[in-house]
Amino acid sequence: MSLLEAVHGPRDLRALSAPQLAELADEIRTFLVGSVSRTGGHLGPNLGVVEMTIALHRVFDSPHDPIIFDTGHQSYVHKILTGRQEGFPGLRQKGGLTGYPCRAESPHDWVENSHATTSLSWAEGLAKAYRLRGEDRTVVAVIGDGALTGGMAWEALNNIAVGADLKLIVVVNDNGRSYTPTVGGIASHLSTLRTDRRYEPTLKQIKQRVRSAPVVGGALYDLLHGFKTGVKDVLAPQGMFSDLGIKYVGPIDGHDIGMMERAFESAKNFGGPVIIHCMTVKGKGFRAAEEDEADRFHAVGLIDSETGEPLTASPKRTWTDAFREAIVDIARADANVVGITAAMLHPVGLDAMARAFPDRVFDVGIAEQHAVTSAAGLSRGGLHPVVALYATFLNRAFDQVLMDVALHGQGVTFVLDRAGITGPDGASHHGMWDTSLMALVPGAHVAAPRDERRLVDALRTAVGVDDAPTVVRYSKDPLPPELPAIRSHGGVDVLASPADARVLLVAHGPFAHLAVEAADRMGAQGIPCAVVDPVWALPVNPALVELCGAAELVVTLEDGGVSGGLGAALALACQRAGVWTPLRHLAIPQEFLDHASRAEILGELGLTADDVARAIVDWALESTAAKVARTAVAEGPRAGA
């Protein structure tokens, strides 16, 4: 039996010797590469935290001592060590293990933390709660240097600094990267230690001295604290953490289990907040990951476990690919267009623009709020910023969109990738909230293009709006084929217009193709259905309201939240115009949806062509029956009846 097979929980780690721990770390890396290569997932981040996670679980008594992982994509090793090895064949698949911590899976998972920079606030709140309740528990937060670029982490540190008796340990997992290399002043401070030529020999000396020291909490802490002065203040004089009043230990080798255990033990016995700065290598132990300069295999699909080469065919052209090309052309034609990203230059497709115009693309780190208000400033300065984010991350900066961009009438374009149902990353990553949020923003313009041509047109229109926020949102799916309009009605694209159509189906974005399929099925059942695409969903086009007034039933179909979404905005516009045609909405329920493939989730929600056609047929029959009943009441009993 391998060592890994004998580990069913954290307590099984404590009887292992140092050589066995090193062997276990190798087995975990082999397991991760073999397993994640078959399911896809976050590989590089987890390869980098193997020894750190082993040390954490040997020193702290999880779940009594909460361990909170910032972002959470580096929690696979934690899952393995807390008895979930057997679930890895179903990782990120319907009914299987989630790709992030999950409270339903294990009591060892405290926070379902898949948005960055929140761990320190969770930890500070938990530590305060235990202090007030008189419980002797230590809270540990593991946060990467990438997440330290986010303002919320520093808001938490500001409060942690005044909690002198909080039993809280912050482990800074410093690998110099988020998706890509970490940017900004914080990164510069940390990298000073990483790149100083004197650091390696000094670190070696520290290791030798610590290993020869007695394992006594207070004395060892003093020793490490002294080393902190020697390394941090002498090699790179700056007091980033200690000036806040928080005890600092490090930097230490995040792949040295023994040294980390000693640091963790010392910090645990200190009785107040301690920051432990660990240096790790993202993708460690898998050569293909370590040599991947793009993102060190941050997230992978199905790959060869030996070479790291993808096993699936090259993906079809994606919406991100289309944006990547279009924004370069737009920037080339208009020198005032600039790009902003929040630590996701490559995933959102701004990398090509950054290569072509390096002075006009700004990566602000994991700081969406700053990105949006900085964009407002750029706009005020005469430029037109294009802020490219995953749709789910716009939630984090809603106040800035509302009060800094919209209130001030600044022309800022938001490009929202991964809009709608995204799939295996689960509830936190479905991009289903942005339409409901943007419908609240006065003056906002929202486009959900149905194909590449409409995407390019929407982008060109958006960067020409200089007095309001504009949004262009699209799916993570491959690009669908072009879907031409039959004609345009006042700016509304008509996609299907059968004779004597009684039902009007208003389709947004990629669901336009779904709507045309559903309309074909309805026509086969004797219920002709017209299909239109508003092109720009907000503000609601009066021509669309006019079309609604001419129909017997209107159904809206959108890849966003049903509450307060695009369909709801249309219903309100119809009411204000005195149009009382019955409206029904097909969209995503305002629920936290579990992880599964996009197709599986849409099937469960009834958002397939067959389901949509069936629902509309039922509504159409109900509408007809209600109309007959109203007519009968209005006419009264017939003569001779």
pLDDT tens for 489-508 read 999 999 999 988 989 999 99
167-205 pLDDT, tens digit per residue, is 999 999 887 654 455 445 444 444 444 444 444 455 555
Q: What is the pLDDT of residue 164?
A: 86
CA of residue 532 relative to chain centroid, distance: 31
Alpha helices by DSSP H, listed for 452-502, are 452-462
Q: Where does residue 379 rank: exposed (0-12), middle (13-18), buried (19+ CB within 10 A)?
A: buried
Q: How do strand 529-533 and strand 536-538 relate by DSSP bridges?
A: unpaired
Assess whether pLDDT exceeds 70 at residue 254.
yes
Rounded to 10 degrees, what is the CA torsion of 198, 199, 203, 205?
10
One DSSP character per residue, 284-300 reads: TT-HHHHT-TTTSSSSB
Predicted pLDDT at 249: 86
What pLDDT does 178 receive? 47
DSSP 8-state code for residue 451: S
pTM, to two decimals: 0.83
Cβ contact 581:610 at 8 Å? no
Q: For residue 622, give the 3-state DSSP assignment.
A: helix
- As a whole number of angstroms, the distance between CA 52 and CA 561 comes to 39
pLDDT (average), residues 439-456:
96
Largest Cα span, the chain: 110
Q: Give the gyration radius of the chain's Cα atoms.
A: 28
**Ramachandran angles phi, psi of 506, nearest 5°:** -100, 110
Q: Does position 257 have pLDDT exceeding 60, yes or no?
A: yes
State the pLDDT confidence band at 426, using cuts at 50, 70 and 90: confident
The token pair that represents 439 in the structure block: 């419908």
- Mean per-residue pLDDT, 35-53: 86
- Mean of pLDDT values over 522-539: 93
* Backbone torsions φ then ψ of 81, nearest 5 degrees: -75, -10
Lowest mean pLDDT among 215-229, 299-313, 327-341: 215-229
**Nearest Cα residue to 407 out of 435, 378, 442, 383:** 442
For residues 567-596, give the mean pLDDT: 93
Instruction: Check if the beta carbon of residue 66 is closer than 8 Å to that of residue 137.
Output: yes
Give the whole-angstrom CA distance, residue 614 versus residue 360: 50
Q: CB–CB of 180/343 below 8 Å? A: yes
Higher pLDDT, 435 or 305: 435
Residue 585 has pLDDT above 90, yes or no: yes
**pLDDT of amino acid 306:** 66
Query: What angle is formed at CA 493 by the lines to CA 458 and CA 562, rounded to 5 degrees?
Result: 75
Residue 124 to residue 139: CA distance in whole angstroms: 8
User: Distance between CA atoms of 26 and 20, rounded to whole angstroms?
Assistant: 10
Helix (H) or strand (E) holding 268: helix 257-270
- Given this model, what pLDDT does residue 622 score? 77
| Rounded Cα gap, residues 481 and 463, in angstroms | 25
| pLDDT score, position 96 | 87
> Tokens at residue 297, please?
């295999």
- Where helices occur in 361-501 by DSSP H, the ranges are 368-380, 391-394, 398-400, 434-438, 452-462
635 pLDDT more than 60: no
Per residue in 102-130, pLDDT (tens digit) is: 899 999 999 986 688 889 999 999 999 99
pLDDT of 332 > 50? The answer is yes
Which has the higher per-residue pLDDT, 66 or 296? Answer: 66
pLDDT tens for 348-363 read 999 999 999 999 999 9
Name the strand (E) or helix (H) holding 278: strand 274-279
99-113, 431-445, 500-514: least confidently modelled range: 99-113
**pLDDT band, very low/low/confident/very high, at 423 (cuts 50, 70, 90):** confident
DSSP 59-128: HS-TTTS-EEESSSTT-HHHHHHTT-GGGGGGTTSTTS--SS--TTT-TT------STT-HHHHHHHHHH
Residue with tokens 């080339």: 332
Per-residue pLDDT, averaged over 536-563, amounts to 94
Give me 193's structure tokens: 């230690």
HSE-CB at 266 with a 13 A cutoff on CA atoms is 26
What pLDDT does 194 receive?
44
How many angstroms separate the CA atoms of 131 and 138, rounded?
A: 10
Give the pLDDT confidence score for residue 148 in this predicted structure.
Answer: 82
Give mean pLDDT, residues 512-526. Answer: 92
Find the range with the poorest average confidence among 337-341, 468-472, 587-591, 617-621: 617-621
* Peptide bond just before 251 cis, omega within 30 deg: yes
Strand 337-341 and strand 247-253: pairing?
unpaired
pLDDT, averaged across the chain: 85
Query: Residues 395-400: what's their mean pLDDT?
Result: 94
pLDDT of residue 41: 80
The predicted structure's pLDDT at residue 641? 37
Decide if 126 contacts 66 (C-beta within 8 A).
yes
- pLDDT of 18 > 50? The answer is yes
| Amino acid letter, residue 348 | V
Active site residues: 282, 368, 396
Task: Reply yes or no on whether the pLDDT at 633 is more than 70.
Answer: no
- Name the pLDDT band for 68 (thresholds 50, 70, 90): very high
Sheet holding 274-279, edge to edge: 67-69, 139-144, 168-174, 274-279, 247-253
Q: Which pLDDT band holds residue 292 (cuts at 50, 70, 90)?
A: low
Copy the structure tokens of residue 444.
Answer: 């906002």
- pLDDT on residue 228: 41
Dihedral angle computed from the Cα positions of residues 56, 58, 61 and 65, in that order, rounded to the nearest 10 degrees: -10
